[in-house]
Amino acid sequence: MSSKKPVVIYPEYFDYRLKRSQGRKAPLSETVKSPKLEELSGILLNLGCDFQTSNARHPGNWSKVGGSLKVNADFSKTQLIHKLGSSLKKLRQTN
């Protein structure tokens, strides 16, 4: 991992059932129902990003076991969320 502080990504960021106030960060056009950590990990591998998985829970949804990803990427958190969201949407449409 690089010397930059990693960006933390939670699956809740991409769940269309959540409101922005409940933790969703991606626009509705880039969200899916119940995103999985494994799906996001696969997308990050395809993007060539360095990441680690963690059992940390989203602070606004701490009772749900979902995990998180600590990502070292060359783009900002906002850019990373958009890249992951659009790729996740494409992945779900093809399956």
User: Are 35 and 11 in contact, with CB atoms under 8 Å apart?
Assistant: yes
Judged against a pLDDT cut of 70, whether residue 10 lies above it is answered with: yes
Cα 30 to Cα 2, 45, 54, 81: the distances in Å are 28, 19, 23, 9
* Residue 75 per-residue DSSP state: S
Between CA 41 and CA 86 the distance in angstroms is 14
**What's the pLDDT score for residue 3?**
59
Residue pLDDT, tens place only, 50-73: 999 998 888 877 777 779 999 998
Query: 0.85 exceeded by the pTM?
Result: yes
Cα 11 to Cα 2, 3, 4, 45, 78: the distances in Å are 23, 25, 22, 16, 15
Residue pLDDT, tens place only, 16-34: 999 999 999 999 999 999 9
